[in-house]
């Protein structure tokens, strides 16, 4: 008899999540028998929700905004990349009953930027907006691609500066405020704030996107996000949202859980065509 393993994504808010659909498509493609649902879990219920999920037989969890740094604290052990980033987006039940924390966000972002969209990172100047859990997970994989410089800006400036110090051994990383970048220009601007989730835009100066520069919003929706529209209005060569990253990071999580790697291209194409048809 084959059993059906249960997985879920926890976050708050969570109603926008496409993760259940993506994992269902992966399961069909790879003929795995799983269920996967989205659960609204605010930060103050997180610890209790994780414990009860695994106690009831759950095999693995994804954690999204605002839970990634908390998930890092809750895991019994950590993969190397999660240990370094201090943020966890994937929890895995181990054979001994303990819970391993991993982070697949950075790998997902870099795969979408460089493989799916042919955006070169070597020697580029990258501006990273936001200093939360998502930023923590993507800095190291971005630096592996040898950009010239990574500048981190955040509403709460101290967090940007702290992050830049924490990761400084990886290369030229500088943390500052939105005011400090007024006279600067970047080849790639990555929005890792949660501003798009409420239709807001970080306070970006007007002339900071270099000619032929690209914009990438980690957030995604059925319509272009506020930041994707900002990129288009500022003549970005490409202005993309995080749907591709979402599929790529999910594929890596699926691989960790099921030891089988789904093919992502056809799923990204399907989700893109589905959202075009939503009025």
Query: Could you tell me which residues come within 8 angstroms of residue 55 by beta carbon, excluding any fewer than 6 positions away?
Result: none
Q: What are phi and psi of 24, to 5 degrees?
A: -65, -40
Query: In the bound complex, what is the minimum distance in angstroms from residue 178's beta carbon to ligand NDP?
Result: 8
Place of tokens 């990383």: 173
Q: Does 252 bind ligand NDP (CB under 6 A)?
A: no
Query: In the bound complex, what is the minimum distance in angstroms from residue 197's beta carbon to ligand NDP?
Result: 5
Q: Does 141 bind ligand NDP (CB under 6 A)?
A: no
Q: Does 225 bind ligand NDP (CB under 6 A)?
A: no
Decide the pairing of beta strands 90-93 and 125-129: unpaired
For ligand NDP, the nearest residue by Cβ is 132
End-to-end CA distance of the chain: give it in Å, rounded. Answer: 43
Q: Does 164 bind ligand NDP (CB under 6 A)?
A: no
* CA atoms of 278 and 263, how far apart (whole Å): 24
Q: Does 219 bind ligand NDP (CB under 6 A)?
A: yes
The overall longest dimension of the chain from CA atoms, in Å, is 64
Query: Could you tell me which residues come within 8 angstroms of residue 59 by beta carbon, excluding any fewer than 6 positions away?
Result: 5, 6, 7, 92, 93, 257
Q: Does 134 bind ligand NDP (CB under 6 A)?
A: yes
Number of residues that bind ligand NDP (CB under 6 A): 31
Out of 41, 131, 190, 215, point to the residue binding ligand NDP (CB under 6 A): 131
Q: Does 220 bind ligand NDP (CB under 6 A)?
A: yes
Q: Does 200 bind ligand NDP (CB under 6 A)?
A: yes
Q: Does 14 bind ligand NDP (CB under 6 A)?
A: no
Q: Does 147 bind ligand NDP (CB under 6 A)?
A: no
Decide the pairing of beta strands 77-78 and 99-102: parallel
User: Which residue number, 1 or 253, has a Cβ lying nearer to ligand NDP?
Assistant: 253
* CA atoms of 219 and 207, how far apart (whole Å): 23
Selected range binding ligand NDP among 20-28, 195-203, 205-213, 256-264, rule: CB under 6 A: 195-203
Q: Does 107 bind ligand NDP (CB under 6 A)?
A: no
User: Which residue number, 148 or 223, has a Cβ lying nearer to ligand NDP?
Assistant: 223
- Give me the sheet containing 77-78, strands edge to edge: 34-40, 5-11, 60-63, 90-93, 99-102, 77-78
* CA atoms of 50 and 223, how far apart (whole Å): 32
Out of 60, 101, 106, 130, point to the residue binding ligand NDP (CB under 6 A): 130
List active site positions.
68
User: Which residue number, 179 or 212, has a Cβ lying nearer to ligand NDP?
Assistant: 179
Query: Could you tell me which residues come within 8 angstroms of residue 261 by beta carbon, excluding any fewer than 6 positions away?
Result: 251, 254, 255
Q: Does 91 bind ligand NDP (CB under 6 A)?
A: no
Query: In the bound complex, what is the minimum distance in angstroms from residue 162's beta carbon to ligand NDP?
Result: 11
* Cα torsion through 170, 183, 186, 86, rounded to 10: 40
Q: Does 108 bind ligand NDP (CB under 6 A)?
A: yes
Binding positions for ligand NDP, rule: CB under 6 A: 64-66, 68, 105, 108, 130-135, 154-156, 159, 192-197, 200, 202, 218-220, 242, 245-246, 249
């Amino acid at each position: 008899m084959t059993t059906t393993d249960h997985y879920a994504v926890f976050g708050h808010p969570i109603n926008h999540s496409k993760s259940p659909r993506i994992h269902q498509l992966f399961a069909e493609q790879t003929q795995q028998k799983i269920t996967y649902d989205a659960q609204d879990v605010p930060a103050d219920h997180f610890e209790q929700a994780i414990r009860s999920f695994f106690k009831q037989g759950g095999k693995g969890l994804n954690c999204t905004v605002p839970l990634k740094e908390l998930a890092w604290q809750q895991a019994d052990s950590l993969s190397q990349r999660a240990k370094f980033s201090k943020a966890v987006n994937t929890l895995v039940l181990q054979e001994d009953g303990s819970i391993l924390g991993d982070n697949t966000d950075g790998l997902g972002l870099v795969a979408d930027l460089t493989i799916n969209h042919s955006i070169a990172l070597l020697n580029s100047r990258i501006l990273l907006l936001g200093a939360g859990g998502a930023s923590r997970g993507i800095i190291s994989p971005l630096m592996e691609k040898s950009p010239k410089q990574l500048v981190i800006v955040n509403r709460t400036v101290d967090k940007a500066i702290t992050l830049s110090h924490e990761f400084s051994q990886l290369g030229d990383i500088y943390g500052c405020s939105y005011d400090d970048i007024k006279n600067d220009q970047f080849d790639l601007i990555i929005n890792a704030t949660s501003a798009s989730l409420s239709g807001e835009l970080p306070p970006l100066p007007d002339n900071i996107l270099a000619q032929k520069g690209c914009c990438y919003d980690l957030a995604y929706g059925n319509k272009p996000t506020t930041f994707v529209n900002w990129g288009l209005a500022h003549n970005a060569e490409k202005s993309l949202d995080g749907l591709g990253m979402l599929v790529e990071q999910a594929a890596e999580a699926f691989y960790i859980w099921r030891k089988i790697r789904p093919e992502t291209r056809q799923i990204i194409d399907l989700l893109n065509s589905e959202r075009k048809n939503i009025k």
